[in-house]
């Protein structure tokens, strides 16, 4: 009987060891982090996955959800402040690669601040993959799956709803204006135009890539039926009535008919869990 005790003891120890996770097996998903996030798309997703409490700082462009606005700001994502980031004692900095200046990023590396880069998502499959990538950091795959299901349902509903509209309004999207007498306009190549297409509209700046300054004459020549102005530019310039009197805008159907509407930048220029809802909102805005 005594001879059996030792093998049994060994079996018991090995069984306990097999059931007990070691440090190597414990992923970030089980560890609360101190995250500084300097990409607005990632910031919204982190909150949507239920991990907003792990954020300690964000960049100035991270304005959604409203809770993000209460966090410490570390500068614009293209003009970051290394001292501000380091002072927050982050365990990691999340970004999408669109960060600067390079000297700041190098300084963060030198002091040992870990960084994790997630590619920005420009299509629905890409944004779903981003849901999964971020979910893996927080053990939140169930939440990611729910977000994907809702996104599909919202987009399907929008695709059905857009069928009722028989016209395709021409739309210009202005980020802000009157800088050296130009308007900063969002061109066709990008998420905003993709969402316009889904909403049954057309970006009149279809030869323009990215965001470019354009003269009032070019705005006038494009003759948009609708002008969407992002929150920054709209609030900076005043209201729709004032915008309608500006050079270039005043000579467009949008200006003459006062069809100039404010839209939150974060609802238009990146894809995320609310994209289906935002397409439906955009649809109502441009077809009214």
- pLDDT digit string, tens, across residues 147-184: 999 999 999 999 999 999 999 999 999 987 655 678 88
| pLDDT exceeds cutoff 60 at 202 | yes
Supply the pTM of this predicted model. 0.84
Residue 204, both tokens: 């009149």
pLDDT mean over 196-200:
96
30 — pLDDT class (breaks 50, 70, 90): low
Residue by residue, DSSP assigns 145-170 as HHHHHHHHHHHHHHHHHGGG-----E
Q: Which of 155, 221, 241 has its CA nearest to residue 194?
A: 155
200, 165 contact by CB (below 8 A): yes
Q: Which of 2-6, 35-39, 68-72 has the lowest mean pLDDT?
A: 2-6
| pLDDT exceeds cutoff 60 at 72 | yes
Name every residue whose Cβ is closer than 8 Å to that of residue 192 and which is 6 or more positions away in sequence.
173, 186, 203, 268, 269
What is the tally of helices (H) and strands (E) in the chain?
12, 13
pLDDT tens for each residue of 256-275? 999 999 999 999 999 999 99
166, 59 contact by CB (below 8 A): no
CA dist 63 and 41 (Å) reads: 10
| pLDDT exceeds cutoff 50 at 19 | no
Mind spelling out the 3-state secondary structure of 12-37? HHHHHHHHCCCCCCCCHHHCCCCEEE
107, 82 contact by CB (below 8 A): yes
Q: Which of 240, 253, 230 has its CA nearest to residue 169?
A: 253
pLDDT tens for each residue of 117-153? 999 898 999 999 999 999 999 999 999 999 999 999 9
186 to 18, 202, 212, 249: CA distances (angstroms): 57, 12, 7, 15
CA dist 138 and 198 (Å) reads: 32
CA dist 83 and 234 (Å) reads: 32
CA dist 160 and 157 (Å) reads: 5
- Go through 84-111 and write b for each residue having 16 or more CB atoms within 10 A of its CB, e for each that does not: ebbebebebbbbbeebeeeebbebbeee
Average pLDDT, the chain: 88
Strands 35-37 and 55-58: parallel
Q: Compute the Cα dihedral for 251, 254, 257, 261 and give only its sign.
A: negative
Please give the pLDDT value at position 237. 82
pLDDT tens for each residue of 224-246? 999 999 998 899 888 999 999 99
Which residues in 79-198 belong to E strands, given as ranges? Answer: 79-80, 92-95, 115-117, 170-179, 182-186
| pLDDT exceeds cutoff 70 at 9 | no
Q: Which of 67-81, 179-193, 235-249 has the lowest mean pLDDT?
A: 179-193
| pLDDT exceeds cutoff 70 at 23 | no
**DSSP structure class, residue 181:** T
């Amino acid at each position: 009987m005594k001879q059996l005790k030792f093998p049994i003891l060994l079996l018991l120890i090995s069984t306990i060891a097999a059931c007990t996770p070691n440090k190597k097996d414990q992923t970030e998903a089980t560890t609360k982090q101190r995250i500084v996030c300097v990409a607005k798309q990632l910031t919204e997703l982190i909150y949507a996955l239920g991990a907003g409490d792990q954020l300690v700082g964000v960049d100035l462009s991270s304005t959604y959800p409203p809770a993000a606005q209460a966090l410490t700001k570390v500068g614009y994502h293209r003009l970051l402040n290394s001292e501000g980031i380091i002072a927050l004692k982050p365990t990691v900095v999340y970004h999408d690669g669109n960060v600067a200046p390079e000297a700041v990023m190098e300084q963060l590396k030198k002091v040992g601040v870990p960084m994790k880069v997630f590619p920005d998502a420009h299509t629905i499959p890409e944004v779903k993959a981003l849901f999964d990538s971020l979910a893996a950091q927080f053990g939140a795959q169930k939440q990611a799956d729910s977000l994907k299901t809702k996104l599909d349902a919202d987009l399907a509903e929008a695709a059905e709803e857009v069928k009722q509209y028989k016209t395709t309004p021409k739309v210009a999207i202005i980020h802000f204006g009157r800088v050296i007498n130009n308007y900063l306009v969002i061109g066709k190549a990008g998420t905003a135009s993709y969402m316009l297409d889904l909403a049954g509209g057309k970006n009149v700046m279809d030869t323009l890539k990215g965001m470019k300054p354009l003269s009032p004459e070019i705005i006038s020549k494009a003759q948009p039926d609708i002008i969407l102005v992002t929150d920054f530019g709209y609030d900076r310039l005043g209201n729709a009535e004032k915008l309608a009197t500006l050079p270039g805008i005043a000579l467009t159907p949008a200006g003459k008919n006062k069809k100039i509407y404010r839209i939150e930048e974060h609802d238009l220029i990146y894809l995320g869990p609310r994209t289906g809802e935002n397409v439906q909102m955009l649809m109502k805005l441009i077809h009214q």
